[in-house]
Structure 1
Amino acid sequence: MYVATSRPPAAESRRGAVPATVFGLGVVSLITDVSAEMVTAVLPLYLVYGVGVGFLHLGAVEGFYAGSTALSRLLGGYWADRLGRQKTVAAVGYGLSAVAKLGLPAAGGSFAGIAAALAVDRAGKGIRTGPRDAMITLATPADQLGRAFGVHRTMDTAGAMLGPLVAVALLAAFTGYGPVFVSSFCLGLIGLLVLVFFVNAPATAPPARERVSVRRALAAVSSAGPRRVCLAAGLLGLVTAGDMVLYVALQRQGGLPAGVLPLLPLGTAATFLLAATPFGRLADRFGRWRMFLAGHVLLAVVYLLVGLSTGGWAIAVAALLLHGLFYAATDGVLMAHVGPLIPAELRSTGLAAVQTVQALARAGGAIAVGAALQFGSPQVSFGLLAVLLGVGIVAGLKLGAVR
């Protein structure tokens, strides 16, 4: 039996059930995120305390990590719409990410080889994201999109929580990083198989349409609503620190042991896990764009806490809790807000375009924040970042996308 069925979303919404397609994609994301976070959890520890890189290089790595998905997001979204096969294109992306995990142990100590494997992994993530999110919007009634994305992100984040725990357990049980990478590949492959064999494309497929062209796709994305969302998301992304930089700064500012660094993301993930679905419901009721901007207010408070921290676990715990609430208020909520603004037959391309703008902006922000921390004090760097983020929030209000 398939995880997704052909039952219309309206029938499921009357029962208050999450569409089967959304639940199935959530299972895929849960498994895949265990695989992905096993690797990403050990990267800061390895780079900072193994290789000895500073904030500048760490910011550059994170900028590459965020920005390398840009072109692949657009290609994945465009071809999913052009072929009308969101699930097939998403499967290609999941497959690339799984195979890339084997490239990491094969690279040995070669930085170029590691970078190439990470590039393939990020390309796979970019290809799958737009089609996957489009499947969620196509399978869900418009007035329940915040809830649907909240449920999906909750399951996704459950995997993000398990990944670091599995990685730490493997590092404790075995010597070296090889077992982490091989186990990550196996889980990625399982996630791909679940998608292929147990998740159907949404029953609410787009109607018959003219051939999707680049010009039509660009016209849809550049219409007033999506254009303003892209601009606001880009401005906010430019003043967002990368997660790895934030965690390292928090560990150092708080005087925490270096060994806890791979576990700090768990604080963010646990809060995200608990808050994603409730925040999605609130966004549906009170306004998704308002929720998105409110999340960035929480992020500004996080920056102030990190910059002003004088040591101790209390500030670290508070910062991680607020960081998780930021993601719960923004990640799926942004897609739920912009999805209905884009024609169904161009939904994958449109969502991918918004994600690409945000990813490129965050890549630039990660590099800039890393450079600021390398040559300046954390107090000044994070204080200025909080102020600039406040300016970006005001700009988001002025752009008039609030509803």
Structure 2
Amino acid sequence: MYLSMSDRTGGQKDSQAEMPAAAATAFRLSPVIIWLGIVSMMTDISSESVAAILPLYVTGFLGLSTIAFGIIDGINQGASAIVRIAAGWVSDRTGQPKRVAVAGYGLSMVARVGFLFAGGFWAIAGIVTGDRIGKGIRTAPRDAMISEAAQPEHLARSFGVHRMLDSIGAATGPLLAFLVLVMIPNGFSTVFIVSLAFSVIGVAVLVLIVPGRRRGTVNPDAAARRPRFRWSQLRWATVKEQGLSRLLLTAGLLGLLTIGDGFIYLILHDRGSFAVQWFPLLYVGTNVVFLLFAIPIGKLADRWGRIPVFLAGHLALLACYVLAAMPFGGLGATLGCLLLLGIFYAATDGVLAAIVSRLTRAEHLATALGTAQTVVALSRMAAATGFGVLWFMLGPVTAMVCVAGLLAAALIVGAALLGGARRWTAAP
């Protein structure tokens, strides 16, 4: 399924356009991508049902400050970075990404049990850390499996299909949380039980149905000859040659100004004055938009260019910040923010993975994906923690205006950095 290095580099150096006008091969979807999407859907129902109530649970039910929530949300964004590169390397080294992914999904499932007993800052922080480490373990090998099963010329579209299924779960989880809170006021423990049940289902589907041996895996003797991991591998010649370093730098810079959704929803809640039980529906709205746009934007990225789409997604995030900071509120502003957030995720999540896949040698694919995910996770962890402090010091609206201005400047810098990398992301 992989391209040779001559296909990835030699034939691309003459191309100044990022993508051709149209793909020559008809789109075919691998069943592996469908099953992995179902696993992600079940897992996202589990994780997002908890994420949808976490801001209110921390600041309302437990009575903690926005700084405490910023730290917890920062952990939620970035704790996975601890293991992403190592998990990607293990996947590349062993040629068995499914086993690595099972370990990650399993750890997150075990962490869900802790929510049934946690009642303070440190307990919540520890459980979120365990859950996110599980996410860090599973993400790179899972995306490597998707990349291997997908047609190279339809890579972003294939990731879009997976993200569509993933976003179905991400929309369903908050909806379930909303229904629970409507029927059971302060029924947070019931939400935690529902979360655990869906996590168990996701792990079962992965273990029992998803194929365990990747396509094109070499024999054990060949695997034994693979070089041992060194940090210097992250600076191999093709990184500089093909623009991956520019991509990682840009993703990190933009990630530093990507605050957590929970903060945006808290601002909308404070200004809209809607009832607490409606809060999870904000997550539903964002993920429904993600669901609707994941495949069309992935297809657009394959045709128009993945880097322009990636940057345009951050423009949507900037517009969301501006709209959230406006002096007027109400239903229109809320719906506009949800629309823009959903477009942002549809234009960046799978598209970033597709760009990395086109800039990386086959034998380093999961490691490179893990590296990119680590950069994004660490930068977003810093963004969430920093914004919690800004909120406390300046107030929510002023803090949002500051971040919006910095993001506008970062987009200009990112566009300049990625301008030299576009020629290396041409389709095969």
The alignment's TM-score, normalised by the length of structure 1, stands at 0.92
CA distance in 2, matches of 1:238, 1:283: 24
Q: CA, structure 1 residues 255+135, in 2 after alignment: closer, same or farther (shift >3 Å)? A: same
Checking the alignment, whether the CA contact within 8 Å between 1:275 and 1:325 is kept in structure 2 is yes
Residue in structure 2 matching 1:339, options 343, 351, 357? 357
Checking the alignment, whether the CA contact within 8 Å between 1:59 and 1:367 is kept in structure 2 is yes
In structure 1, the partner of 2:13 is: none
Moved more, 350-359 or 258-267: 258-267
Q: Given the alignment of the two structures, is residue 164 of structure 1 paired with residue 174 of structure 2, yes or no?
A: yes
Checking the alignment, whether the CA contact within 8 Å between 1:21 and 1:201 is kept in structure 2 is no
Q: CA, structure 1 residues 9+351, in 2 after alignment: closer, same or farther (shift >3 Å)? A: closer
Deviations 1:322-355 (A, max 9, x none): 1100111101100001112111121111100011
In structure 1, the partner of 2:104 is: 93
Deviations 1:236-294 (A, max 9, x none): 01111111111101221333333322211111111000000000000000110110000
Report the CA distance between 1:203 and its aligned residue: 5.3
Report the CA distance between 1:319 and its aligned residue: 1.0
Residue in structure 2 matching 1:129, options 127, 139, 144? 139
In structure 1, the partner of 2:79 is: 68
Correspondences of 1:199-348 after superposition (within 5 Å): 199-201=210-212, 204-207=215-218, 208=222, 210-215=225-230, 217-220=233-236, 223-224=239-240, 225-348=243-366
Correspondences of 1:20-99 after superposition (within 5 Å): 20-99=31-110
Letter in 2 for 1:138: E
Residue in structure 1 matching 2:393, options 364, 372, 375? 375
Q: CA, structure 1 residues 222+392, in 2 after alignment: closer, same or farther (shift >3 Å)? A: farther
Residue in structure 2 matching 1:349, options 350, 353, 367? 367
* SS at structure 2 position matched to 1:310: coil
Letter in 2 for 1:249: I
Correspondences of 1:104-119 after superposition (within 5 Å): 104-107=115-118, 109-119=119-129
Checking the alignment, whether the CA contact within 8 Å between 2:318 and 2:407 is kept in structure 1 is yes
Checking the alignment, whether the CA contact within 8 Å between 1:138 and 1:204 is kept in structure 2 is yes
In structure 2, the partner of 1:358 is: 376
* SS at structure 2 position matched to 1:32: helix
Q: How many residues align?
A: 393
Q: CA, structure 1 residues 70+221, in 2 after alignment: closer, same or farther (shift >3 Å)? A: farther
CA distance in 2, matches of 1:18, 1:247: 35
CA distance in 2, matches of 1:299, 1:291: 13
* SS at structure 2 position matched to 1:68: helix
Report the CA distance between 1:184 and its aligned residue: 1.6
Which stretches in structure 2 are left out of the alignment for 5+ residues?
4-23, 424-428
Checking the alignment, whether the CA contact within 8 Å between 2:68 and 2:121 is kept in structure 1 is no
CA distance in 1, matches of 2:400, 2:356: 30
Report the CA distance between 1:110 and its aligned residue: 4.1
How much identity, in percent, do the aligned residues show?
41
CA RMSD of aligned residues (A): 2.1
Report the CA distance between 1:48 and its aligned residue: 1.8
Letter in 2 for 1:94: Y
Checking the alignment, whether the CA contact within 8 Å between 2:52 and 2:177 is kept in structure 1 is yes
* SS at structure 2 position matched to 1:223: helix
In structure 2, the partner of 1:5 is: none
Checking the alignment, whether the CA contact within 8 Å between 2:182 and 2:277 is kept in structure 1 is no
Letter in 1 for 2:283: P
Deviations 1:286-319 (A, max 9, x none): 1101100000011111100011142211111111
Letter in 2 for 1:69: S
In structure 2, the partner of 1:401 is: 421
Report the CA distance between 1:53 and its aligned residue: 2.8
Report the CA distance between 1:113 and its aligned residue: 2.7
Letter in 2 for 1:223: V
* SS at structure 1 position matched to 2:71: helix
Q: CA, structure 1 residues 16+155, in 2 after alignment: closer, same or farther (shift >3 Å)? A: same
Checking the alignment, whether the CA contact within 8 Å between 1:134 and 1:351 is kept in structure 2 is yes
Moved more, 254-263 or 60-69: 254-263
